[in-house]
Amino acid sequence: MLILIEEHACYDGVQRIYKHDSETIGLPMRFSLYLPPQARTQKVPGLFYLAGLTCTEETFPIKAGAQRFAAQHGIALIAPDTSPRGANVPGEADAWDFGVGAGFYLDATREPWSRHWRMGSYVRDELREAVTASLPVDGARLGIFGHSMGGHGALTLALKNPDIYRSVSAFAPIAAPTRCPWGEKAFSGYLGEDREAWKQYDASELVGQAVRKFEEGILVDQGLADAFLPNQLNPEVFEAACAAAGQPLTLRRHEGYDHGYFFIQSFIEDHLAHHARVLLK
């Protein structure tokens, strides 16, 4: 059961925060939802946003400025938290890039993380089903996007589930996590040392195996003043993988922009328009 804990009028729609007891995670979870004004009279397309390291379900609705454009297009915005909270796993809060706030949108297989750290299944199945069953969101018209760790999550979930997600985009994604320190740390901790098992959560590996291409293209924006670009993000690896696989990709590189939400605010209108072209077709 979804429990509404916060609601605010926003661009003639409503911005809400919900919580619910998650069977997948085994703990209470929270997510934010923006319903545009069109949702008063009809089901609307839904766009899932996956946030980056250290963020919560509130980061995107507060910082991105997306509601204005979601209201114009008539698209709902759903943003889950970035990890389980309250599991009390030893060491879960010792580092900002692993554990709490750093779920990496995968299903952990290594103890003690495997019991609760199941963000991949939570986003793909439980959260999606709860939102589309209980709220005026059309389960047949869903897209997904995200930032950094969440960009990684959006790309991997979309590439593995094109039957669920019709559109996909990302801001500064961790595009080849098996080849960067963030990914190596997270994957070894959550999945163990078998690097072959890691590849199922690497967009640059998955794009060549995808059962169906996103013919409308994947949109990725990357700031060139991003401090994490040199050793964490690897957009050029994903770009090459898309070219080899014949997957249409628009990778835009922006001088002067860093990794934060001022960057996201600057290009969020383009991302909503990208998804609207597909979801409203």
* Residues labelled catalytic: 148, 226, 259
Q: In Å, what is the CA distance from 246 to each residue of 160, 163, 209?
A: 16, 19, 11
Residue 198: Cβ-neighbour burial (10 angstroms; 0-12, 13-18, 19+): buried
CA angle 36, 78, 32 (to 5 degrees): 95
With beta carbons less than 8 A apart as the criterion, state whether 117 and 144 touch.
no
Taking the CA atoms of 14, 20, 23 and 25 in sequence, report the sign of the dihedral they define: positive
| Residue among 216, 278, 201, 205 at smallest CA distance from 247 | 216
Q: Are strands 249-254 and 44-50 parallel, antiparallel or unpaired?
A: unpaired
